Structure 1
Amino acid sequence: NNIPETRDNCLAYFVSRVRDKLHIVLCMSPVGDSLRIRCRQFPSLINCTTIDWFHGWPEAALVSVAERFLGELELPSEDVRKSVVRMCGFVHRSIEETSGRFFQELRRRVYTTPKSYLDLINLYMSMLKGLQDIVEIKSDRMKVGVRKLEETNNIVEGLRGELFKLEPVLKQKSIETEALLIDVAQQSQEASVVAAKVGAEEAIVGKQAAETAAVAADAQKDLDRALPALESAKKALSSLSKADITEVKSFTNPPTAVRIVMEAVCVLLGEKEAW
């Protein structure tokens, strides 16, 4: 357009384009004094804007908005969906009526705006989503539990079949075990009897051993006493000569001591005792 591309010209062109193309939508609630204060602080909100004042939504609008937001929810049936839509509209209208009575009685206003209605719908959707998640988690747990029960039931059935097959073997083993227990009890009883006999015989043998030891001790004492005499006899025997023996044989009536000794020797040698 033959306009020099200076800094000021570019800025002016940009501002004109923004004014022509940029559209800003400001949504403000008339509740309270906030809107009044903003309009006083910024008069352009009234002078340079087009104001669209939205009054309370009629019944058809409430139903349409609820159907729009609740249309994508997973509900049990279409009748349930329609009931929820009617419930949302009923709650919103009930709050409006109650707010009017509240103002008449207490002179205090409670505002219910379309935003409140949208918050109600979003709250319902959020609560429904949370409950559906909880139900889904519990359902998954139930499915896992049922699957585990089925697996356990199959295992139990298999074990029951194996137990049925092993039942005859177990009965036979039980009979053999009972017979073995009876045999062991009998052998234990016999062993007890034998142990009693052995104990009695041990007592007798012990007594006999004690008596034998006593006899052996007495014999040892006698032997100890006889050994000196034996040694003396051996020495005396070694000192005997053939002449002494001839002299003894010549005795017609030997002395008593000689006769007794000779008879004892004959007894030991198994010879006749006659002189």
Structure 2
Amino acid sequence: MDTEADEAGSLRADRARRVANVLRRQVLDGAFGGGVLPDERALVAEFSVSRNTVREALALLRDEGLVERRRGVGTVVVGRAYAHPLGELAGLAEVLHHHGSVVNQVREARLVRPPRAVARRLGLGEGEQAVHLERLRSLDGVPLSLDSTYLLPWIGKPLLALEREALEHRDVFDLIETVAGAPLGGAEVSVQAVTADAATRAVLRMPESAGAVLTVERLTSLADGRPADLEFIHLRGDRLVLRARVAAPWGRGPGQERAR
């Protein structure tokens, strides 16, 4: 019997979502030894909810492609996500190299006339060209992100002269600093969830149930403050987790009010 049967269905849905929030983090952190979640009875006791609520929570994770039900085994982990530090100027290969082989399928690498909005962000004049790189980035064959990068011509042209293998196995940040000889200083980053269009979903090999992707817009600057490149990155939210450590406002201690 459902102990929450006398409550509104939406309340049970809320509880299922809260249970899924906790379980999702545990799944992504590899907290379940052997890749098997506790059985329903144990989850009911842990979260103090009904069995139906637990089942709804597990269904949410199943729809995300993280777990599946196997007869005679239970609920097993079938998906994996990897943490990417949002607060560090680091490339995917640099961050995930210890998890496996990161390879970039180069979809485009050429000089283009960038959109006006891109040209303005990069400080390019009317009619000036930029180098455009588009790469599909995969870890051990599993697509993680689709990166569209516009670079200043004097930074990007040396990259175009490289063998294709260099663009497939090295991060753009590494190439900018070592090949173009342009030390980086920092970046402005914004993140937004957007509806995944059919083409992007197909390229990233996302499950049909996935309705959104994380888009990262990152304007990277040189050490002297000049812009270097502007990236538009589509990330699989079911495979990458963006993480950052933040601090309290400077000068705010116990008992102090936030400055107005």
* TM-score, length of structure 1 as denominator length: 0.25
More relative contact order, 1 or 2 (CA 8 Å, 6+ apart):
2
Structure with the higher fraction of residues in strand conformation: 2
Structure with the higher fraction of residues in helix conformation: 1
* TM-score, length of structure 2 as denominator length: 0.26
Which protein has the larger Cα radius of gyration, Structure 1 or Structure 2? 1
